[in-house]
Amino acid sequence: MLLFTDVITLSTERERALVDVTLEAQRMVRRSGVREGMCALYAHGATAALMIQENDDPNIGEDVVDCLDGLIPNGVWRHDRIDGNGASHIQAGIVGPSETIPIRDGKLDLSTWQNVFFCEFDGPRRRRTIAVTILGN
């Protein structure tokens, strides 16, 4: 059984956006040499998350951000009296920072329209990180 660990580093340009990190993750699976197994991705930062989402229409990312902003609006939380980003924390918690994706034939076993997105809910940030842990044969 092989164990491979690494970190994806990215910067984010906007306050709130979904950033596609599929290519970086696929590259690490290739480098790990694992053909069959799993790739556990984990976003650091309590105002960030990971989401598997449609990859073809870039509007989807904006739809997701709009949707979350409508459901969980800014400025109405207890935490906003301290730090002003209560909505970002709640959204990050509900979407969640961890996704575990199967590896088959040496690649992430995503379906045709699934990609992996880093969710920035409190940017822009110069440096965001995703821990990558790969296990398999």
Touching a second copy, residues 32-51 (CB under 8 A): 36-38, 40, 42, 44-46, 51
Q: Among all chains, which residue has been given the structure tokens 């709009």? A: 66
Q: Is 8 left (phi over 0), alpha (psi -120 to 50) or beta?
A: beta
Applying CB under 8 A, does 100 fall inside the site for a second copy?
yes
The residue among 84 and 124 lying less far from a second copy, judged by its C-beta, is: 84
Q: Is 1 exposed, middle or buried (0-12, 13-18, 19+ CB in 10 A)?
A: exposed
Is residue 126 within the footprint of a second copy (CB under 8 A)?
A: no
* 133 near a second copy, judged by CB under 8 A: yes
**Cα(90)–Cα(72) distance, rounded to whole angstroms?**
8
Asked whether the CA dihedral 105, 109, 112, 118 is positive or negative, the reply is negative
Residue 63: both structure tokens together: 């739809």
> Taking CB under 8 A as the criterion, which residues in 6-35 touch a second copy?
none
**Closer residue to a second copy (CB): 15 or 55:** 55
Question: Does position 53 bind a second copy by CB under 8 A?
Answer: yes
123 binds a second copy (CB under 8 A): no
Q: Are strands 37-43 and 125-136 parallel, antiparallel or unpaired?
A: antiparallel
- Binding residues for a second copy (CB under 8 A): 1, 3, 5, 36-38, 40, 42, 44-46, 51-55, 57, 59-60, 62-64, 66-67, 71-72, 77-79, 82-83, 86, 89-90, 92-104, 109-111, 113-114, 129, 131, 133, 135-137
